[in-house]
Amino acid sequence: MSLPRYLVRRLLLGVVQILLVVVVVFALTEALPGDAAVTIAGDNPDPATIALLREQLGLDRPAWERLAEWVLAALHGDFGRSLTGPMEVADIIGASLGPTLLLAGLTLAVVVPLSLVLGVVAANREGGRADRLITTATLGFYSVPEFAMGLLLVTVFAVQLRWFPPTAVGGGDLLSRPAVLVLPVVVLLLRPICSLSRLVRAGMVDALRSGFVQQARRVGLPPLRVQLAHALPNAVVPAVQQLARTTDWLIGGVVVVEAIFVIPGLGTALVDAVSSRDLPVVQGLAVVLATVTVVVNLAADVAAHVLAPAAEVSR
């Protein structure tokens, strides 16, 4: 399939995916027991107050009507207003985007180079001590839940050794207190680094055994150049696609890590919104998170299509 045709198809699928996410999220939040009116009414709900609130919030109209209205407004950049506070949904998202982007960006900035190094080192010492150590560790920690690892690290490094603060509580800008960010980033990078470095290693092992690398060696190219310019580019194609799947892990990880370290990001906003049944906020956050996932996956599929056009791309 030619690249423009593939792009169009893939873009269309992405739009459909995001729209369906909106519908699914809407349906699920509809099914939540109780609604925002009950939440706002507080501890002593009086049926008359609840009915009045429902009318004011427009909750008494049919669900499909509210859904259609929401989609139309969202296309104009209006995500509605929080049901439980005075803020616009777009403002809530804007305010909590910063800390989450900072965490995710820092994590990626560490994960990508580190997993390349680990993968290349392991592949070059295939079967050796360093390789066995790296493969065992990356396999073992592949799916350790962030919260368990996170709280163990907090116990050791924050409670016992007191090297880092246990939470981000204390106000102020996160960037001005880099010590706060160390433990969250370490916890977040754990899972992605395991999967990525394993893929880089597998790709490198194949590449180093292949004819073109041996030929490059035979003609006397410098070893570093053979590694970086000849073997590595061929080894990273599977890792590029896995990097896209990593977004899903990062989003999940961010929710947990923000809960542990009390960081006011998207994850905290999501957990708060779900527990207070704040439908517009949940919808807005869900669309943002789903869009990120869809866009990253799209970019990775296109990158893989460009890097290896002959190989069958998963979608």
Partner 1 sequence: MKRFLIPGALVAVPVLLAAFGPLFATGGTGKDVAFSSGPGHPFGTDFVGRDVWTQVLLGGGSVVFVAVAATACTYLVAVPLGLVAGMTRHRLVDEALLRPLDVLLAIPSMLLLLLLAAAAPSSRWVLIAVVTVINLPDVVRISRAGALSSAASPAVEAMRLQGESPARIGIGYVARRMLRTLAADLGTRFTGAIYLVASASFLGVGVAPQAADWAAMIDRNRTGLFLQPWAVVLPALLIVALSVGVNLTFDRLLRKRKSEVPT
Q: Which helix (H) or strand (E) holds 74?
A: helix 63-75
Residue 220 CB burial class (10 angstroms; 0-12, 13-18, ≥19) = exposed
Closest distance of CB 217 from partner 1, Å: 29
Between 51 and 202, name the residue whose CB sits nearer to partner 1: 202
Between 19 and 52, name the residue whose CB sits nearer to partner 1: 19
| Residues making contact with partner 1 (CB under 8 A) | 13-14, 16-18, 20-21, 24-25, 28-29, 31-33, 136, 139-149, 151-152, 154-155, 159, 166, 247-248, 251-252, 255-256, 259-260, 270-271, 274-275, 277, 282, 285-286, 289-290, 293-294, 297, 314-315
Between 74 and 221, name the residue whose CB sits nearer to partner 1: 74
Closest distance of CB 70 from partner 1, Å: 16
196 vs 208: CA distance, rounded Å: 18
Closest distance of CB 227 from partner 1, Å: 27
Between 227 and 268, name the residue whose CB sits nearer to partner 1: 268
Closest distance of CB 206 from partner 1, Å: 17
Between 109 and 156, name the residue whose CB sits nearer to partner 1: 156
Between 16 and 130, name the residue whose CB sits nearer to partner 1: 16
Closest distance of CB 124 from partner 1, Å: 21
DSSP of 218-229: HTT--HHHIIII
The candidate with the shortest Cα–Cα distance to 80, out of 94, 67, 70, 92, is 70
Closest distance of CB 228 from partner 1, Å: 29
Residue 44 is given by DSSP the state S
Buried b (16+ CB within 10 A) or exposed e, 166-204: bebeeeeebeeeeebbbbbbbbbbbbbbbbbbbbbbbbb
Sorted by sequence, the CB contacts under 8 Å of residue 221 that are 6+ apart come out as 230
Between 112 and 282, name the residue whose CB sits nearer to partner 1: 282
Closest distance of CB 25 from partner 1, Å: 7
Crossing angle for the helix pair 89-124 and 178-209, nearest 10 degrees?
A: 40
202 vs 139: CA distance, rounded Å: 13
The candidate with the shortest Cα–Cα distance to 119, out of 250, 242, 30, 299, is 242
